[in-house]
Structure 1
Amino acid sequence: MAVTFAHLPVLAESVLQAFSGLSGLPAGEEAGEGLLLDCTLGGGGHSALLLEAHPRLRLIGLDRDPAARDAAAERLAPFADRATIVAANFAGFTPPAPLVGVLADLGVSSPQLDEPARGFSFRTAGPLDMRMDPESGETAAELIDRLEETELADLIHGFGEERLSRRIARRLVAERPWTGSGRSTADLAYAVAGCFPPKARRGRIHPATRTFQALRIAVNDELGALDRLLREAPDWLVPGGLLAVISFHSLEDRRVKTAFLGDPRLERLTRKPLVAGEEEQQANPRSRSAKLRVAHRRV
């Protein structure tokens, strides 16, 4: 079953406002009015809004997910050659020209979560995969089988901030192998939930949430990719060029905040992150945890 990527881009109005000054930025001769990089293209929602708002803007959109690229190609077709889609992870990409802006909408998209075959969610049974690029790399099941118990516990604690990480790791190691076992994300969630006392299993947040987050981050090296982006992106920008990052959990947001405060090349434009209003949160529940921080390259 194909992923439709029929989802709403989070913080759309805030992103448009953040990039409202693009037309006044200097740009190289090859860039025309300006070249913008969408590091996490998804279904092309943010890119389409920005291209429509800035008629002379050109854009490069990156995504590892072939389903996302197909959806974005359809969404961005009206903009013809102003939009270029590249199969790439932003951590390993170097833009061909100076940029007036860089946008990154981090984490996993709603369509990926909603598609059981991708293995991101415990709400419906699916394979223990969790790869952004389903054609390469190590799956979540292979990762669980490969790591020593202590390493797995440290991963679940570090990337999931899960206080029961050692108990969970012990359980997952005891139930090896996961690869080729035929067990699903639902089975993994059941094993994790069994590590919690009965009362904690009935809370608002599913007990497997933090473990699934940790495994997904590790499988896709999400924090490593973000660190490289924050380190390299300022050098891609023209003076005054914008760097905007939407994060969805504290591990990401702390990194962005620290980079924007400590990087002498950047000046932050948002002292506090921009968040979704009540209306957007009701229309798009994923937006409830979204935080947008914006900085620009010092002139």
Structure 2
Amino acid sequence: MEFHHISVMADEVIRGLNIKSDGIYVDCTLGGAGHASRIASLLGKNGTLLGIDQDETAVAAAKEKLACCICHTIVVHDNFKNLTAILARENITGVDGFLFDLGVSSPQIDDAERGFSYMHDAPLDMRMDQHESLTAYDVVNNYSELHLTDIFKKYGEERWSKRIAKFIILYRQETPIKTTAQLVDIICRAIPAAVRRNNPGHPAKRIFQAIRIEVNNELGILKKSFECAVEHLTQHGRLTVITFHSLEDRITKQTLKLMATGCICPPDLPICICGHKRQIRLCGKALTPSETELIDNPRSKSAKLRIAEKL
């Protein structure tokens, strides 16, 4: 399918990156290259854009979209958790700006066969990188009741986590859970009808989010990746991060806040013994989409953009 994705807060990202025409910029979540093409359009022939994505469909679409750019473009099929190795491989030592646009992209949601959506019946998959071995099928059919409950609570913040996990275990004792439709049906039966009637959102939304995060280890790689990006930023280089739910944003906020803090010793110590150095400054508070963007792209509703500058 065609990889078409509406870039969230594109204008704010461009302003946040403070682009120099001869700079080096890294889009760690390339997707359909919406943000990347905007960045590339502001780069001259001495500028460089490196795009990274773990989705092969996105990589193919991005290469095509960026083919006419006058700057030097590099598109890599990889995961940004390997950022240090990727930069070393491309002989890049200093970067003027990084972008992390977290979460799942619209084409991945809309492609029913990928199994990300609770609105389409499809095999339970949810892998962003099809070369990875762990799938949603494995999580749903092999994890223990306790493990399922834990990820539903931790990654989905689902009130009915324990009951849904119990219903999944009971169902799979009779037959494997192979499709998204089966899973949605189990979730709907597990959540009391009165609760479903009084909540406008889809009852499976939080559970699907939790499973997707588990399959792709979305939260586990964030802190280290942000720290790696800051380490490779040039002086006054910018780090921009777009998050789409509270768990991502909490990790982002806490990680950036720590890197923007100097001494972290207890206040009663007479001298600093931690040696912690301030690495960045935060460029204001988190930004959210404009009213116009919310109308044009409802999927941007939960987005937050955080910007930091290397000292």
Q: TM-score normalised to the size of structure 1?
A: 0.91
The answer to whether residue 32 in structure 2 is matched with residue 35 in structure 1 is no
Residue 255 of structure 1, aligned match among 251, 257, 271: 251
SS at match of 1:158: helix
SS at match of 2:172: coil
**2:305: which partner in 1?**
292
Aligned mates of 2:306, 2:68 — CA distance in 1: 29
Q: How has the CA–CA distance of structure 1 residues 170 and 182 changed in structure 2, closer, same or farther, with 3 Å as cutoff?
A: closer
Contact 2:49 2:74 in 1 (8 A): yes
Aligned mates of 1:207, 1:14 — CA distance in 2: 33
Aligned mates of 2:100, 2:47 — CA distance in 1: 17
SS at match of 1:67: helix
**2:190: which partner in 1?**
195
Contact 2:137 2:177 in 1 (8 A): no
**1:77: which partner in 2?**
67
Q: How has the CA–CA distance of structure 1 residues 235 and 186 changed in structure 2, closer, same or farther, with 3 Å as cutoff?
A: same
Letter in structure 1 aligned against 2:10: A
**5+ unaligned residues in a row in structure 1: which ranges?**
25-32
Aligned mates of 1:118, 1:285 — CA distance in 2: 22
Aligned residues: 285
Residue 17 of structure 2, aligned match among 16, 19, 35: 19
SS at match of 1:224: coil
Letter in structure 2 aligned against 1:211: I
Contact 2:282 2:308 in 1 (8 A): yes
Residue 182 of structure 1, CA deviation: 6.9
Aligned mates of 2:172, 2:232 — CA distance in 1: 45
Residue 199 of structure 1, CA deviation: 2.5
The answer to whether residue 102 in structure 2 is matched with residue 112 in structure 1 is no
**1:183: which partner in 2?**
178
Residue 145 of structure 1, CA deviation: 2.1
**1:46: which partner in 2?**
35
Contact 1:145 1:177 in 2 (8 A): no
Aligned mates of 2:82, 2:20 — CA distance in 1: 28
The answer to whether residue 272 in structure 2 is matched with residue 282 in structure 1 is no
The answer to whether residue 273 in structure 2 is matched with residue 265 in structure 1 is no
Contact 1:200 1:207 in 2 (8 A): no
- Which string of whole-angstrom CA distances, capped at 9 and with x for unpartnered residues, describes residues 245-288 of structure 1? 00000001111111111112121102x21111111111111111
Runs of 4+ in 1 over 6 A off after TM superposition: none
The answer to whether residue 134 in structure 2 is matched with residue 138 in structure 1 is yes
Residue 201 of structure 1, CA deviation: 2.0
Aligned mates of 1:82, 1:54 — CA distance in 2: 9
**1:27: which partner in 2?**
none
Aligned mates of 2:8, 2:177 — CA distance in 1: 35
Residue 15 of structure 1, CA deviation: 0.7
Contact 2:49 2:71 in 1 (8 A): no
- Which string of whole-angstrom CA distances, capped at 9 and with x for unpartnered residues, describes residues 217-258 of structure 1? 000000012122122211011111111000000001111111
Letter in structure 1 aligned against 2:193: P
Residue 135 of structure 1, CA deviation: 2.7
State the Cα RMSD in Å.
1.7
**1:237: which partner in 2?**
233
Aligned mates of 2:243, 2:106 — CA distance in 1: 14
The answer to whether residue 50 in structure 2 is matched with residue 60 in structure 1 is yes
Contact 2:137 2:178 in 1 (8 A): no
Contact 2:140 2:177 in 1 (8 A): no
The answer to whether residue 117 in structure 2 is matched with residue 121 in structure 1 is yes
Letter in structure 2 aligned against 1:280: E
Letter in structure 2 aligned against 1:68: A
Contact 1:128 1:184 in 2 (8 A): yes
Residue 54 of structure 1, CA deviation: 2.7
Residue 194 of structure 1, CA deviation: 1.2
SS at match of 1:273: coil
Contact 1:119 1:128 in 2 (8 A): yes
**2:7: which partner in 1?**
9
Aligned mates of 1:212, 1:37 — CA distance in 2: 29
Q: Which deviates further from its counterpart, 48-57 or 83-92?
A: 48-57
